Amino acid sequence: MNKIAILCSGGDVSGMNPAIKRFVEYSFEQGLKPYFVYGGFDGLIDNTIKEAGYSDVAGIIHRGGTKIYSARSTRFKEEKFRAIAAKNLRTLGIDKLVVLGGDGSFHGMELFFKEQNISFCGIPSTIDNDINGTQYCLGVDTALNVIKTATDNIRDTASSFKRAFVIEVMGRDCGYLALVSALTSGAEMCLIPEIPYDLDTIKKRFLREVKEGRNYFIAVVAEGLKNSQEIAQWFEKEIGFESRVTVLGHIQRGGNPTVRERLMAYQFTTYAIDALCSGQKDSVICYSNGAFESKSIKEITTKKYEIGEELLTLGKRLLQK
């Protein structure tokens, strides 16, 4: 029986456990023997690779995070440790690897494949949704719903006290979470790394809206800008509204995976195993325009992700330059 393994690398996301469950069940359907790599790339190096069965995935579909743990491995960046990882896989007879991770993880696997010729298929898994070639990454829907709930709750207080709230969401280099959250929560302001902003222009709009009756503000800011406190002070000084900052932080990573998340995990994992069984060696499963497709790792890593123009257009009023 051919053997196949799965690992999680980088930040955890809700959706990993549903993907892990599907991995075990679909592997057996395809006549494969499934293995877990515990602890990401470090697990490959330390040989924490164990055979998996149905009992290992019972009752995990509703849980956030990942049962098999994740890590950001610094050792895997060194060739000598990648060689150890490959040796451990070959010793166990594992020649196929499913990797749930983000951009850094995929760059690591690209190098690993070139050096060691270990076949792999990546599943984009990052709440930042910043992987080139795919419009959706595992974990995004759950993260957006966590932000939605928090923002709705904060709006209750903002409207009661006539305050401005600055809500900082994750997104080091990508403003996807901030933009979609701002649009779907009815925020008055959104600041993201991709678009320069002009506070003077925004000030004119806000002062006009205050005259017309607006009595509270919600601003959603991507963490990569590192300016949440500055914006809160700006609200007080320039707009005349008492303000508060709420940093949502790591609550965005966790939580019960949404229905959409579970279905996407099911589909991503199915396509990943099918790709490996069909002989593809260095691919990533991507989701675009309502369809899944397998793309080579080179297509994914050679270009930086950009938020789609349609989404930027929808948020034009909130992204005043």
On the question of pLDDT at 65 being above 90, the answer is yes
Over range 60-79, report the average pLDDT.
97
pLDDT per position as a tens digit, 288-312: 999 999 999 999 999 999 999 999 8
> 134 and 263 in one domain?
yes
Q: 168: domain range?
A: 140-253
Over range 200-211, report the average pLDDT.
95
pLDDT at 1: 79
Give Cβ neighbours of residue 99 (< 8 Å, ≥ 6 apart): 6, 7, 9, 105, 106, 109, 120, 121, 122, 123
Percentage of the chain beyond pLDDT 90 is 94
Residue 283: strand pairing partners: 121, 296
| Whether residue 128 lies in the annotated active site | yes
Residue 75 burial class via C-beta count within 10 angstroms: exposed 0-12, middle 13-18, buried 19 and up: middle
Higher pLDDT, residue 317 or 236: 236
For 109-112, which contacts have Cβ atoms below 8 Å and span 24 or more sequence positions?
A: 109/282, 109/297, 110/282, 110/297, 110/298, 110/301, 111/82, 112/76, 112/82, 112/85, 112/86
> 48 and 152 in one domain?
no
* Residue 101 included in any domain: yes
> 70 and 134 in one domain?
yes
> 230 and 279 in one domain?
no
253 neighbors 137 (Cβ within 8 angstroms): no
Phi, psi angles (nearest 5°) of residue 162: 55, 55
Q: Is the pTM of this model over 0.85?
A: yes
99 neighbors 106 (Cβ within 8 angstroms): yes
The H helix count followed by the E strand count for the chain is 12, 11
> 72 and 189 in one domain?
no
* Residue 35 included in any domain: yes
> 163 and 105 in one domain?
no
pLDDT per position as a tens digit, 80-131: 999 999 999 999 999 999 999 999 999 999 999 999 999 999 999 999 999 9
> 37 and 81 in one domain?
yes
Over range 215-240, report the average pLDDT.
97
Residue 268 burial class via C-beta count within 10 angstroms: exposed 0-12, middle 13-18, buried 19 and up: buried
pLDDT at 320: 66
> 54 and 24 in one domain?
yes
pLDDT per position as a tens digit, 240-288: 999 999 999 999 999 999 999 999 999 999 999 999 999 999 999 999 9
pLDDT at 119: 97
Give me the catalytic one of 128, 130, 141, 282: 128
On the question of pLDDT at 321 being above 70, the answer is no
> 179 and 66 in one domain?
no
> 265 and 220 in one domain?
no
> 146 and 34 in one domain?
no
> 110 and 147 in one domain?
no
**Number of structural domains, the chain?**
2
318 neighbors 182 (Cβ within 8 angstroms): yes
pLDDT at 172: 85
DSSP summary character for residue 66: -
CATH of the domain at 247: 3.40.50.460
Over range 49-59, report the average pLDDT.
98
DSSP summary character for residue 53: -
